[in-house]
A and B are shown apart, each in its own frame.
Chain A
Amino acid sequence: MAETIVFYTLSVLILGLAILVVTAKNAVHSVVALVMTFLCVAALYVVLEAEFLAVIQILVYAGGIVVLYLFVVMLVNLGRSPEEHQDPRRLSVFGLGLAGAMLLEVAGIVVYSYNRSASTVTAPAAASPVQGNTQELGWLLYTDYLIPFELASVLLLVAMVGAIVLAKRDL
């Protein structure tokens, strides 16, 4: 029961904050809403027994990425919003229309996939020598997914170099 309450509360928070992210006029507001969204998602991960991911979510998203966004928003110090000249109502109508279509589509897919999954979903339980979410995840990452993991680190390195090259005023 508690899980249900937590889920719905978090769901409402997540969706509301997400809507705030995409609708806020001020970019700083968006960033703040984004942080809140990420935190709520992290909480959801906890509910889903993914503690490690929750920590990562907070560290990387809320701590790293969002700070990055905040910096950029501060650097790009706009006198006025790029959307000032646009008709907000028209936009919202367009956005709502799109949202309806999107939801319809996703709903279709979801319905379809649950119709199928009843019969097809099996639970291939992976034998794991360790206990606990973090340990198991670490085990997987350093055994079966070692090469993708290392590639991800290379990707991050490349991204770092790229970001520095792009952002630096003059090399």
Chain B
Amino acid sequence: MEITPAHYTVLSAALFTIGVIGVLVRRNIIIIFMAIELMLNAVNINLVAHAQQVENLVGQVFVVFVIAVAAAEAAVGLGIILAFYRNKETVNIDEMNVMRW
């Protein structure tokens, strides 16, 4: 049975779904960030699979950019988590509500 881009797409969708669920369900903000990384990886898989299918490397170029952005996001996001933890002694996202009404 040949593996088509559709398979990759399904895999990507499942991985993305898992990421989304992780973002929405977990309270630990570090794990939420990890779930975001999962979602980004799902996107990357999709991009690479289709790039291979259309024999065009532009998709891979985008993956490079996505990885770069992910790295930047992780660095800044984790910096924010550290700063927040220092102030509030917690990483529970429910307690990050200072911007509420």
Q: Do chains A and B touch in the complex (CB under 8 A)?
A: yes
- What residues of chain A lie closer than 8 Å to B61, measured between beta carbons? 137, 140-141, 145
Known A22-B35, A99-B17: A82·B78 in contact at CB below 8 Å: no
Query: Are B64 and A121 neighbours in the complex by a CB distance under 8 Å?
Result: no
Give 1 or 0 for each of A84-125: 1 = CB within 8 Å of chain B CB: 001000010011001100110011001000100000011111
B31 and A30 form a contact (CB under 8 A): yes
Assembled-state Cα–Cα distance A86/B18 (Å): 20
Contact A22/B25 with A7-B3, A53-B63 known, Cβ cut-off 8 Å: yes
Dominant secondary structure at the A interface:
helix
Interface size class of B (residues with CB under 8 A): 35 or more
Say how far B16's CB is from chain A's closest CB, in angstroms.
7
Contact A18 B31 (CB under 8 A): no
Assess the B21–A169 pair: CB atoms within 8 A: no
Can you name 30 A-B residue pairings with CB atoms under 8 Å?
A3-B3, A4-B1, A4-B3, A14-B15, A15-B14, A21-B31, A21-B34, A31-B34, A37-B38, A37-B41, A49-B52, A50-B48, A53-B44, A60-B67, A61-B41, A61-B67, A64-B71, A65-B37, A81-B28, A82-B27, A83-B92, A102-B20, A114-B6, A114-B9, A124-B56, A125-B56, A126-B58, A149-B65, A166-B82, A167-B82
B64 touches A22 (CB 8 A): no
Chain B positions within 8 Å of A, measured between CB atoms, are 1-3, 6-11, 13-22, 24-28, 30-31, 33-35, 37-38, 41, 44-45, 48-49, 51-58, 60-61, 63-65, 67-76, 78-83, 85-86, 90-94
Count of inter-chain pairs, beta carbons less than 8 A: 222
Q: How far is the CA of A142 from the CA of B86 in the complex (A)?
A: 42
A6 closest partner in B (C-beta): B3
Query: Which residue from B60, B80, B92 sits with its C-beta under 8 Å from A166?
Result: B80
